[in-house]
Amino acid sequence: MLSVDVSKAASFLPLPYEEALRPMLAKASGWLQNGGGKGSDFIGWVRLPEDYDKEEFARIEAAAAKIRKDSAALVVIGIGGSYLGARGVIECLCSPNYNLKKKDGPNIYFIGNGLSSAALREVYELAEDRDFSVNVISKSGTTTEPAVAFRFFKALLEKKYGKEGAAKRIYATTDRARGALKSLADAEGYETFVVPDDVGGRYSVLTAVGLLPIAAAGVDIKALMAGAADMMQLCRTGDYSNPAWQYAALRNELYRKGRKVELLACFEPSFRFMAEWWKQLYGESEGKDERGIFPASVDFTADLHSMGQYIQQGERMLMETVVRFEPDDDQMIVPRDEADGDGLNFLAGRTLHEINTQAMDGTLLAHVEGGVPNMIVRAGKRDARTLGELIYFFEYACGLSGYVLGVNPFDQPGVEAYKKNMFALLGKPGYEAMGDELRAKLAR
């Protein structure tokens, strides 16, 4: 089971902070478990690992099996919380090179997460000559980026398979009743999956939002949910034996002492998109009211050769959280070379994990020595169950941490600002006056 090692971070804090924070954490725990805190309409994810729609779960598994059978590619259209979790889990468990590997399942392409013409064209061309399906994901059903991408892929599917054939290959994950995507899906007869009302986008990876693409990649989603359920039990604990309490308390206290940036690090490159998911989770939950830790991420050891200099000796506003997995079973072993021209025979016979572990420990000691508090999240093997634990742990700790910080961890009012400006500049009906005003500002 996942645990948090605070020993290389707590020493940066002169006073015992746990006691001071205990009442606030107890209150925050109560708000997550029973409501009553800010944004409590959006705490449906807290019980999700046991309290989910079992009938829908079976439909997700059936849809994934159908996609794996009839599609060489699955195009996943979504942005933010409607995409990062699925991509994180798939890359972490199936590899960032998943699409290049020999496998039983479809290639998976993520699009609708931006407005780049080149990115859209590339996925369009990768999909057009093969049998493919589309999973369009948008809780609101009105987000511009995925809606624009969906237009292209809907038209392509209809051209390839006819309207009826296309409808059998489009899976829409959206609100139960509202939004343009829901209306379109009902009108066209797409199979639909629900983003529950009380689960916000960045907390939705364990709903159909994440589960359908993850299952289509061949990941055992029952194991994912089981891991999350185990962590849910642990997170119910209202004291410091709860790893989410330990993490939330420590990062808040370090923030108060001037550590404004948290780096999430991992020594497995396949973790990169899990870190992207984590950045959205924490950045969108805590960055408001002119407060909040800035979440950033690094891939080690690669980034030790780029960001390592700054981490070691730059401005001391950093804290670091390192996710460590237990070793994969299938280890590469460094071969012996009789000539030993590179002088590496001292490593011959050792597994890459053994070497990576020394890199982790060496980095830990160096960064702590350099003045960067380090928290270690010790996770199990890189499998579905472990990722379920990790996802729930980070979500729960985020809810606690946001409440301790004093913000609403479940809204994102700031995201609207760019959207309004973009609509006004694009001339969306109703935004005309604002468009004139913004154009004048740009011309100044």
Report d(CA 261, CA 250) in Å as an integer. Answer: 13
Selected from 81, 105, 106, 388, the binder of ligand PA5 by CB under 6 A is 81
Interatomic CA distance for residues 63 and 75, integer angstroms: 14
Closest to ligand PA5 by CB, 67 vs 195, is 195
Retrieve residue 197's tokens: 């009302």
Q: H or E stretch including 154?
A: helix 144-167
Give the chain's largest Cα–Cα span.
76
Active site residue 419: yes
Q: 185-204 mask for ligand PA5 (x: CB under 6 A)?
A: ---------------xxx--
Note whether 296 and 264 are within 8 A (CB): yes
Report the SS3 class of residue 142.
coil
Spatial neighbors of 382 by CB under 8 A, at least 6 apart, are 92, 93, 268, 270, 325, 326, 328
From the list 284, 286, 320, 395, the catalytic residue is 284
For ligand PA5, give the closer residue by CB, 82 or 242: 82
From CA 382, how far away is CA 22, in angstroms rounded? 32
The residue annotated as part of the active site, out of 419, 420, 432, 437, is 419
Number of helical H runs and strand E runs in the chain: 15, 10
Smallest distance, ligand PA5 to C-beta of residue 415, A: 6
- 388 makes contact with ligand PA5 (CB under 6 A): no
> Binding segment for ligand PA5 among 77-85, 92-100, 235-243, 259-267 (CB under 6 A)?
77-85
**Among residues 140, 345, 356, 357, the one that binds ligand PA5 under rule CB under 6 A:** 140
Q: Does 138 bind ligand PA5 (CB under 6 A)?
A: yes
- By CB under 6 A, the count of residues binding ligand PA5 is 15
412 near ligand PA5, judged by CB under 6 A: yes
CB–CB of 410/285 below 8 Å? Answer: yes
> Among the options 54, 102, 305, 441, which is catalytic?
305
Assess 288 for contact with ligand PA5 (CB under 6 A). no
The whole-angstrom separation of Cα 411 and Cα 395 is 14
Q: Who's near 316: CB < 8 A, 6+ residues apart?
A: 258, 371, 372
Q: Does 408 bind ligand PA5 (CB under 6 A)?
A: no
Q: Which is nearer to ligand PA5, 210 or 243 (CB)?
A: 210
CA distance 360 to 339: 29
Q: CB of residue 144 vs ligand PA5: minimum separation in angstroms?
A: 9
Are the beta carbons of 184 and 166 closer than 8 angstroms? no
- CB 294 → ligand PA5: shortest distance, Å? 17
Q: Does 80 bind ligand PA5 (CB under 6 A)?
A: yes
- 184-191: which pairs have CB atoms within 8 A and are 24 or more residues apart? 188/163, 191/59, 191/63
Q: By C-beta, is 8 or 154 nearer to ligand PA5?
A: 154
Q: How far is the CB of 82 from ligand PA5 (least distance, A)?
A: 4
Nearer to ligand PA5, 200 or 399 (CB): 200
What is the C-alpha separation between 283 and 398, in angstroms, rounded? 10
Q: Record the tokens describing residue 132, joined without a space.
A: 């493919």
For ligand PA5, which is the closer residue by CB, 79 or 319? 79
The nearer residue to ligand PA5, 56 or 128, going by C-beta atoms, is 56
* Structural Rg of the chain based on CA atoms: 23
Identify residue 66 by its one-letter amino acid code: K
Q: Minimum distance from CB of 27 to ligand PA5 (Å)?
A: 24
Number of neighbours of residue 290 by Cβ within 10 angstroms: 5
Helix intervals (H) in 168-220: 180-188, 208-216
Least CB distance from residue 36 to ligand PA5, whole Å? 22
Q: How far is the CB of 281 from ligand PA5 (least distance, A)?
A: 8
CB 372 within 8 A of CB 259: no
Nearer to ligand PA5, 270 or 412 (CB): 412
x-or-dash string of contact with ligand PA5, 26-65, rule CB under 6 A: ----------------------------------------
Answer for which of 21, 79, 215, 254 binds ligand PA5 (CB under 6 A) is: 79
Least distance CB 145 / ligand PA5 (angstroms): 8
Joined tokens for residue 322? 């390192």
List the one residue from 29, 143, 374, 386 that touches ligand PA5 (CB under 6 A). Answer: 143
The question of whether 353 is a catalytic residue gets the answer no
Strand partners, 296: 263
Count of other CB atoms within 10 angstroms of residue 233? 12
Q: Which residues contact ligand PA5 (rule: CB under 6 A)?
A: 79-82, 138-140, 143, 146, 200-202, 284, 412, 415
Which residues are tagged catalytic? 284, 305, 419
